Amino acid sequence: MKYTTAQAIQILERTPAVCTALLAGLSDDWVMQNEGPETFSPYDVIGHLIYGEQTDWVPRAKRILEFGNSKTFDKWDRFAQYELSKGKSLQQLLAEFAEERKKNMIWFKSLQLTETDLDKKGMHPVLGEVTLRNLLSTWVVHDLTHIAQITRVMAKQYRSEMGPWPEFFRILNF
């Protein structure tokens, strides 16, 4: 599947609603547990997505459009949400994510990116040269894989209640 901005927006625009449908109103047993040290709970994931909206995808896209590969992206803290989400309810985080994403979608749609824009290069501090197309595709994949993570983490909480059934669920060993 080739990247198109129209199809990327189809996913990016709906992710906050998906997260809300998935998590709003659940008991803490479902949303506060993770997969072990340095892994995310569903609650952590929403904070991580907010931080991404504020500091990763859009700032990096802007840097590519403004500086090309002459100015390396800032490094990104995968664990920033442990601090930033403190004291906030999941409901607050879901609303905050929806708001940040909405703002970013307005900006993103206003760009009217061409194929030439998508080929523009930027410099990732670890991965080296990347294109704007790579960055935007990864933004979409980052949404989708974090939804997969949220549901996998929740599924694992019932593993011990399933009797012999886990052997049919390869994903529980991921």
Give the binding site for its own copies (CB under 8 A).
1-3, 7, 10-11, 14, 17-18, 20-22, 25-27, 29-30, 33, 124, 127-128, 130-131, 133-134, 137-138, 140-142, 144-145, 147-149, 151-152, 154-155, 157-165, 167-169, 171-172, 174
Which of 86, 168 has the CB closer to its own copies? 168
Task: Give, for 129, the enclosing helix (H) or strand (E).
Answer: strand 128-131
Long-range contacts of 17-20 (CB under 8 A, 24+ apart): 17/98, 18/147, 19/46, 19/49, 19/94, 19/97, 19/147, 19/150, 20/94, 20/98
Output the smallest distance, CB 93 to its own copies, in A. 17
Alpha-carbon distance of 146 to 48, in angstroms, equals 9
Which of 50, 123 has the CB closer to its own copies? 123
Output the smallest distance, CB 164 to its own copies, in A. 4
